[in-house]
């Protein structure tokens, strides 16, 4: 199976699973909350994180259907983080994936609750799955690490706290390692843990995801300068307007491009013994040259 065929086969499982989560009208007083959750969860995107979870699960010998709960879980947590990042008290963005942000459609209070509920449901998806109890516990622990102080929330706090002053390269790397890299690393580890992988495979998954996240963020900073709003699905140039330190402001386009290439190759090296048919290598290389 080619890379494109496998990616498509994962999406054909992931998309219906996500759409069935909260899209059903239940006639309850909180249907508006479900609508807000469904709006952002099904807004599109490449589904990189659930695809990674499913691929690492496959490499560990797990059937695709058995990996779906952890794949959906990581996408629900990712969606929660996007809803909250876009809030007026955070990054105050109006556009996400080419559509109005959640709070612009449903109001700020509903957007907060939609994010809160998606985070809780992410853990519920894992804990209610048919995986063996010890694997469920391991997956929940991995996701908690990516969500909390050492992950998304810690990274966002550093981001907000740094407004108004320049960051060093090390500080920026730590910020983005928590805000972006932690969840990509967790996605890979979730798939491996769901399949009952050993320590070596889990470490390889962690290293691949962290390095993929680092390259992804540098490329994202580049795209905020060189891409277009239609390609990116959100406003461009916002980092410069807000005076934020980015990899582009530190290094410039040429060095950033070289860093993306070098870190991508390091990610590929981390899974050389696992990546039997090259899917992970191809994914990393495509992410390194993406335009949106």
Residues β-bridged to residue 99: 96
Contact predicate 181/213, CB 8 Å: yes
Residue where the block lists tokens 């759409």: 19
- Residue 91's SS3 state is coil
Contacts from 141-148 at CB under 8 Å and sequence distance 24+? 142/186, 142/189, 142/190, 142/193, 143/73, 143/74, 143/77, 143/186, 143/190, 145/182, 145/186, 146/77, 146/182, 146/183, 146/185, 146/186, 147/77, 147/119, 147/183
Q: Where are the domains of the chain?
A: 3-288
CA-based R_g, the chain, Å: 18
- Give dist(CA 216, CA 284) in Å, integer: 9
Give me 81's structure tokens: 């983080």
pLDDT, tens digit only, all 292 positions of the chain: 899 999 999 999 999 999 999 866 566 667 789 999 999 999 988 999 999 999 999 999 999 889 999 999 999 999 999 999 999 999 888 989 889 999 999 999 999 999 999 999 999 999 999 999 999 999 999 999 999 999 999 999 988 888 778 888 898 898 888 988 999 999 999 999 999 999 999 999 999 999 999 999 999 999 988 876 665 665 666 666 666 789 999 999 999 999 999 999 999 999 999 999 999 999 999 999 998 7
- Give dist(CA 187, CA 193) in Å, integer: 10
Residues β-bridged to residue 96: 99
pTM: 0.93
- CATH classification number, 3-288, choose in 3.30.479.30, 3.40.640.10, 3.40.50.300, 1.10.600.10: 1.10.600.10
- Give dist(CA 168, CA 166) in Å, integer: 7
- Residue 128's SS3 state is coil
- Residue 96's SS3 state is strand
């Amino acid at each position: 199976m080619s890379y494109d065929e496998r990616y498509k086969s994962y999406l054909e499982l992931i998309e219906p699973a996500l759409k069935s989560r909260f899209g059903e009208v239940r006639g309850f007083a909180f249907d508006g909350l479900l609508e807000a959750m469904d709006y952002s969860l099904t807004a599109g995107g490449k589904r990189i994180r659930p695809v990674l979870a499913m691929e690492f699960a496959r490499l560990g010998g797990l059937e695709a259907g058995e990996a779906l709960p952890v794949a959906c879980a990581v996408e629900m947590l990712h969606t929660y983080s996007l809803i909250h990042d876009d809030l007026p008290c955070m990054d105050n963005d109006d556009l996400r994936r080419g559509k109005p942000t959640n709070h612009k459609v449903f109001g700020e209070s509903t957007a907060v609750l939609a994010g809160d509920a998606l985070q809780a449901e992410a853990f519920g998806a894992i804990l209610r799955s048919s995986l063996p109890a010890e694997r469920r516990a391991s997956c929940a622990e991995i996701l908690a690490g990516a969500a909390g102080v050492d992950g998304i929330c810690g990274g966002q706090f550093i981001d907000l706290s740094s407004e108004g002053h320049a960051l060093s390269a090390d500080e920026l790397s730590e910020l983005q390692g928590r805000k972006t890299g932690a969840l990509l690393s967790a996605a890979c580890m979730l798939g491996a843990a769901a399949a009952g992988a050993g320590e070596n495979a889990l470490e390889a998954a962690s290293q691949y995801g962290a390095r993929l996240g680092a390259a992804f963020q540098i490329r994202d900073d580049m795209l905020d300068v060189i891409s277009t709003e239609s390609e990116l699905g959100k406003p461009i140039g916002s980092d410069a307007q807000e005076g934020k330190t980015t990899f582009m402001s530190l290094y410039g386009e040429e060095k950033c491009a070289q860093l993306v290439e070098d870190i991508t190759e390091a990610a590929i090296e981390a899974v050389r013994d696992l990546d039997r048919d090259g899917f992970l290598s191809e994914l990393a290389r495509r992410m390194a040259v993406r335009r949106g």
